[in-house]
Structures are given as structure tokens and as C-alpha cells.
């Protein structure tokens, strides 16, 4: 019974650790969209038209 508990615990630890490493690859918050400096700033009324 001791080996089965050890193996189960080890499997749980490995699954949790691999889940954390998978999630850490993505940056949060995601980066902003890059735009050129000559892009016009829209007024709220103009934003409704787009």
C-alpha cells in the first residue's frame, strides 16, 4: 500500500508541476497592438462609425 500511495502522490505532483510550467509560457496581460505614430486618434463619435 505504501508504494501505491507514493506513486500516486508523485504522479499528482508531476501533473501539477507540468500544468504550472505550461501556463507560465504565455505572458499576461497580452501585449498591445503596435500602431504607427501617424495613426489618427478617433473621437468617441468617430469610433462609433467604425
pLDDT in tens, 9-43: 999 999 888 877 676 666 778 888 888 888 888 89
* pLDDT at site 38: 84
Tell me how far apart the alpha carbons of residues 27 and 31 are, in angstroms, rounded to a whole number.
8
Q: How many Cβ atoms are within 10 Å of 48's Cβ, its own excluded?
A: 8
Compute CA distances 31 → 11, 15, 19, 26, 42, whole Å.
35, 29, 23, 11, 21
* pLDDT at site 6: 93
Tell me how far apart the alpha carbons of residues 9 and 3 are, in angstroms, rounded to a whole number.
10
The pTM (predicted TM-score) of the whole model is 0.43
- DSSP symbol at 19: H
Determine the 3-state secondary structure of 31 from DSSP. Answer: coil
Amino acid at each position: 500500500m505504501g508504494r501505491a500511495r507514493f506513486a500516486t502522490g508523485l504522479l499528482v505532483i508531476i501533473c501539477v508541476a507540468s500544468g504550472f510550467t505550461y501556463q507560465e509560457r504565455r505572458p499576461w496581460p497580452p501585449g498591445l497592438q503596435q500602431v504607427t505614430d501617424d495613426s489618427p486618434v478617433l473621437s468617441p463619435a468617430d469610433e462609433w462609425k467604425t
